[in-house]
Structure 1
Amino acid sequence: MTTNPISVDEFQALEQRVLRTVELIRKERELRVSAEQEVAALKELLDHASNENSELNNQVLALREERTQVKNRVDAMLQQMDEIL
């Protein structure tokens, strides 16, 4: 079995490529962790906004119902006034 000897320059070049690859992987992992944290924060904001939206929708429905009741009462009073006049 014959082996091709690797020169010092080739070994150093290979070592540099390995080190760059390790650094790239490290940076990519950091970016992934950062992205995951950002996604978690955005999900939390979305949940909060969704809850607030539900509460506001409930308030709008209650105000619409109240407005309908007030309108009906005013209509009834106007009708009574028309009957008096």
Structure 2
Amino acid sequence: MSTATVSVDEFQALEQKVLRAVEIIKQEREARAKAETEIGNLREQLEFQTLVAQESQAAVNTLSKDRENVRQRVEKMLQQMDELV
């Protein structure tokens, strides 16, 4: 029958490795939580920027239509002035 014996130094080395592994896992969990929070914030910012872009595009479309209407009215006035001359 063979009995495995572990020296104190080997046990301490193993204990240090386990403690280091636990510390690494803690750090990784904290980093993951931070990344998830940041992702949530970035998603909110993206949604806001998308809304702003949509509103801006709608404003540009409205201004373009208004510009076209004004252009047509000016052309009509110029045409009427030409007829007077």
TM-score normalised to structure 2 length: 0.97
**Other-structure match for 1:54:** 54
Which residue in 2 is equivalent to 1:16? Answer: 16
Give the count of matched residue pairs.
85
Partner of 1:39: 39
Instruction: Name the SS for the 2:49 alignment partner.
Output: helix
Aligned mates of 2:20, 2:39 — CA distance in 1: 28
2:7 pairs with 1:7: yes
Q: Percent identity?
A: 49
- The gaps in structure 2 that reach 5 residues or longer are none
Amino acid at match of 1:19: L
Listed as ranges, the gaps of 5+ residues in structure 1 are none
* Residue matched to 1:26: 26
SS in 2 for 1:4: coil
Deviation at 1:3, TM superposition (A): 2.5
Query: Please, what TM-score do these two structures have when normalized by structure 1?
Result: 0.97
Coordinate RMSD, CA, aligned? 0.6
Q: Equivalent residue for 2:78?
A: 78
Displaced runs of 4 or more, over 4 A: none
Instruction: Supply the distance in 1 between the matched residues of 2:38 and 2:67 (Cα, whole angstroms).
Output: 42
